[in-house]
Structure 1
Amino acid sequence: MQHTPVLKVYKFGGASVKDAGSVRNLGRIVREHAQESQLLIVVSAMGKTTNALEELFQLAHAGQDYSTALAALKKFHCDMARELNLDADAPPEAVPHVTFGDVSLARLFEQLGDRLATLVPGEFDRQYDQVVSFGELLATVIVARALAAQWLDCRPLLRTDHTWREGRLDWPTTERNVRAEVLPLFSQGPIVTQGFVGGTASGQTTTLGREGSDYTAAIFAYCLQAESVTIWKDVAGLLNADPKVFADPVRYPRISYQETIEMAYYGASVIHPKTIKPLAVRHIPLLVKSFVDPAAEGTRIGDGRHEPLAPAFIRKDNQCLISFESKDLTFISEENLEVIFGVLAQVRLKINLMQNSAISFSVCTDFSAYRLEKLLDQLRSQFTIHYNTDLELYTIKNYDATSIARLTRGRRLLLEQRTRQTFQFVSQTLPAGQDALL
């Protein structure tokens, strides 16, 4: 009896394609599984490309010279293509000939240059999406050619609304598009496509939120009813703490969808918060494995019970604590809260923590000077507003007395809150060397 290959989705983040050696390692992982699986491979922008594109966008939007930054970005990708021997005959001053139909490295850089040159004041978020999305397009053209795989533009397939920088998916249209366009391609071998990006019905590019490639992998897995999704990271699996921040992290061998959703919501960096729901709906397991040690066990996220979990430590940097007080010393009523919540939603400041007293209401959000100013403009006439920036939000999931003492020692806490399983606090950033956990 002929074996029918199972369909799997792999996601490789920026660290796994940061240089030519990393791309070759990705190729080895894919070759080990391509014979027994139909693979759809979701790839993020290479290394720190998204940061570089954000810098380019900021310069261009401010009317400043961005030519040096653009040249550096172009050189990085061209050098990568040459080191992977994708166009050995290309002269040093030329863009390597890496092409799929009418899509090529050279054409993508022409389009990026056009986007930057035609930015206009206003529409910051819409124009952001049109520029920053080039990171994934450039990466997948290089990776697909290096793997001799098929290149797929996901933007016409993943249909979103016009919520720039955090596109909301039209699930029925997306599922129809993906099944119709992708399933016939598997007979021709592995497919490489972009994370993080989607598109509107009118053909404009959207993005799905920072670090949204995990979510892209889950979308494809849901639509294709894949057997599993594997996210390849530079860590051993899903850990109880970021090893770049906390000492002695512990790997979870198995963990439930529910626990993972909560950890992602609170800011755990391993999984994008929207990733889990579409997988849980179709009971598709999510595997988190190390591209450094592909044979290692990793973590399996799925249905079912598991052993009691070690406390999870999560830190979110660049936080802003905003406090609203009624100007006439009246209570913070439901009517006041309705106004505050409405403006927070309008300017798209996500609440990470909130707390109220009789005459004040405080929220901790990710800091954005642009969005904070819009908030102040709309609410300062009605409320007295105080805010602090450059703060940290710490969360301990499944806390105990020892874990709380460990994390709060030596810190100045500006706000704290606990529920049955979760302890959170906002603190000021300590000078380097004063935090025993770092």
Structure 2
Amino acid sequence: MTVVAKFGGTSVADYQAMGRCADIVLNNPATRIVVVSASSGVTNLLVELTQANLTDERRLELLKSVAAIQYGILDCLGRPAEVASELDKLLSQMSVLSDALVLNRGKHLMDALLSTGELCSSLLFAAVLRERGARASSFDVRGVMRTDGHFGRAEPQIADIEALVSTELAPLLKDNLIVTQGFIGADEQGQTTTLGRGGSDYSAALLAEALRAEAVEIWTDVPGIFTTDPRLAPGARALEEISFNEAAEMATFGAKVLHPATILPAVRRQIQVFVGSSKEPERGGTWIRHQVEHPPVYRAVALRRGQTLLNLHSLQMLHAQGFLAHIFATLAKHRISVDLITTSEVNVSLTLDKTGSDSTGTGLLSEALLQELAEHCRVSVEDNLALVAIIGNRIATTSGVCRRVFTVLEPFNVRMICQGASPHNLCVLVDEKDAAPVVAALHSNLFETAL
């Protein structure tokens, strides 16, 4: 049995946190590969380093802040010479890339800079494991995580990854516990790429798929997946298990504990996924499985803020053919993925899928795209919206669902409704200011009130 364990930024934030994660890894002999994010706070500092118009003083401050986090862990390890030397090289590389960005704003340089956070944390976590007696070593995932050259949001090349993992990584697992990086990869020319924020979960699942692993463990700072965000509904509770379909809907519609893409490789290989807290592993967590017994009608309420609604109006749609095909071809040309869509005779309204992107909706809607769309229809854009999704099973065919949901929504303005395309969700778009009260009201009615 092979298990891939992934630890997020808060789980590897400092030496003490890494120690807790090392205990989790060593308590399960099936864990053969560990995927880590950058230490908490490091990626944000690196992102700021990629910004234009930074003063030299601020750039130096940011580099010192990153170094302080990494050297703090190294000091607790007793500064072993080999690890210290490798860390110095990485921090020096970080400084060189930061300087290079002053003259060249190339996205390939930005990805190379962002990758250094994971390279540092994997180096240090492998040392923490060795300190505890494990035969552990760090492995540069760029040797196997082949992607295209779309810097900032690279697409993994599944067949290439499987072939490279088979030859370059799998043989190492027999005698070593391997620590590697999430979030980063390399294109065919060997240039560093990134999968987008949150991509470490995806990296772990892709490696598990290539290794034919039995399970992926996602260790974070919460004990599993909840019926909703406990900060919005104090009555929220952790779920013991959910299905792939439910998890995919929850991740897609805003459950931050799991990256939306993680579920895809798991579904392809029917790999179980576990989500738990590295701070409190004894509390258990949530298992995501291909099938679960007695799936309920209502499983969770998810929230995704910062939504942008694109409205298209054209009389050409009236009893015409091909208009939508042309619109979607234009969106595809600009690498825009459509999320939700509703239509009438002469109007189309859709929200944008920003999964894996740091961009806002308006950032994705470039001026070139808007101008191209405007040649064929009237275009308007609405911001400051939030998407609330009721996740469950048989939603489209269970009587009484709409009555329960829309009774709760009566005091609020609903901008868009999507229901029926999937048996696992009912989605409403509301004003950003109403998001929290809508989630709280729905959770109370669906999960805390007896039928």
TM-score between both structures, scaled by the size of structure 1: 0.85
Cα distance in 2, alignment partners of residues 329 and 67 from structure 1: 56
Residues 83 and 268 (structure 1 numbering): CA distance in 2 closer, same or farther, change over 3 Å?
closer
RMSD between aligned residues: 2.9
Partner of 1:3: none
Aligned position for 1:193: 180
Counterpart Cα distance in 2 of 1:333 and 1:110:
60
Match in the other structure for 2:300: 312
Q: Distance in 2 between matches of 1:73 and 1:212?
A: 23
Gaps of at least 5 residues in structure 2 are: 131-135, 355-359, 396-400, 442-451
Q: CA deviation at 1:208?
A: 2.0
Which letter maps to 2:27? Answer: E
Show the counterpart of 1:9: 4
Q: 1:414 to 1:436 in 2, by over 3 A?
A: closer
Question: Match of 1:392, as an amino acid?
Answer: A
Partner of 2:260, secondary structure, is: coil
Counterpart Cα distance in 2 of 1:142 and 1:87: 9
| Structure 2 partner of 1:92 | none
Matches within 5 A, 1:85-164: 85-86=75-76, 88=78, 99=83, 104-119=86-101, 125-148=107-130, 149-164=136-151
Aligned to 2:418: 417
Deviation track 1:61-103 (CA, whole Å, cap 9, x = no partner) reads: x3332642553354344344335535647xxxxxx96638xx8
Could you tell me which amino acid in structure 2 is paired with residue 64 of structure 1? L
Which range is displaced more, 211-220 or 420-429?
Answer: 420-429
Q: Which has the higher helix share?
A: 2
Alignment of 1:42-53 (within 5 A): 42-53=35-46
Residue pairs, 1:77-92, within 5 angstroms: 77-83=67-73, 85-86=75-76, 88=78
- Percent identity over the alignment? 30
Does 2:24 align with 1:37? no
Q: Which moved more, 1:296-305 or 1:356-365?
A: 296-305
Counterparts in 2 of 1:9 and 1:434: CA distance versus 1, 3 Å: closer
The structure-2 alpha-carbon separation of the partners of 1:56 and 1:339, relative to structure 1 and needing over 3 Å to count, comes to farther
What SS is found at the alignment partner of 1:263? Answer: helix
Q: CA deviation at 1:246?
A: 3.5
Q: Which residue number corresponds to residue 428 of structure 1? A: 431
Q: Secondary structure at the match of 1:430?
A: helix
- Structure 1 residues 38 and 259, CA, compared in 2 at 3 Å: closer, same or farther? closer
Q: Distance in 1 between matches of 2:88 and 2:43?
A: 19
Greater Cα shift, 238-247 or 330-339 = 330-339
Decide whether the 8 Å contact of 1:323 with 1:360 is kept in 2. yes
Cα drift, residue 24 of structure 1: 1.9
2:374 partner amino acid: R
Q: Which moved more, 1:369-378 or 1:381-390?
A: 369-378
CA distance in 1, matches of 2:435, 2:339: 25
Q: How many Å separate the matches in 2 of 1:421 and 1:177?
A: 36
Secondary structure in structure 2 of the residue aligned to 1:275: helix
d(CA) in 1 for partners of 2:370 and 2:110? 23
The alignment of Structure 1 onto Structure 2 pairs a total of residues equal to 419
1:395 to 382, 389, 392: 389
Taking the aligned partners of 1:433 and 1:50, their CA distance within structure 2 comes to: 28
Partner of 1:165: 152
Higher mean C-alpha displacement, 186-195 vs 62-71? 62-71
Q: Tell me the SS of whatever aligns to 1:301.
A: strand
What's the secondary structure of 1:139's corresponding residue? helix
Q: By how many angstroms is 1:198 displaced?
A: 1.1
What CA distance in whole angstroms lies between the structure 2 residues aligned with 1:140 and 1:396? Answer: 37
Aligned to 1:289: 276
Per-residue deviation, residues 16-70 of structure 1 (Å, max 9, x unmatched): 122332122112222322xx3342000012213323322221x2xx333264255
Instruction: Determine the C-alpha separation between the residues in 1 that align with 2:56 and 2:330.
Output: 34
CA pair 325-433 structure 1, distance change in 2 beyond 3 A: closer
Give TM-score, length-normalised by structure 2: 0.83
**Alignment-mate amino acid for residue 391 of structure 1:** L
Give the SS at the match of 2:141.
coil
Pairing partner for 1:338 from 325, 329, 337? 325
Q: Which amino acid aligns with 1:49?
A: V
Distance change >3 Å, CA 347–CA 70, structure 1 → 2 = farther
Contact 2:303 2:435 in 1 (8 A): no
Deviations 1:208-241 (A, max 9, x none): 2321111111111122222321111222212222
Residue 72 of structure 1: which of 31, 49, 62 is its match?
62
In structure 2, distance between residues paired with 1:17 and 1:69: 24
> What are structure 1's unaligned runs of at least 5 residues?
1-5, 90-95
Aligned to 2:254: 267
Q: After TM superposition, give the deviation of residue 269 of structure 1 in Å.
A: 2.0
Does residue 183 of the first structure (1) align with residue 170 of the second (2)?
yes
**1:333: Cα distance to partner?**
4.5
Partner residue, 2:211: 224
Which residue of structure 2 lines up, in the alignment, with residue 206 of structure 1? 193
Instruction: Tell whether 2:380 aligns with 1:386.
Output: yes
1:203/1:12 Cα in 2 relative to 1: closer, same or farther (>3 Å)? same
Aligned counterparts of 1:436 and 1:256: Cα–Cα separation in 2? 22
Secondary structure of 1:27 counterpart: helix
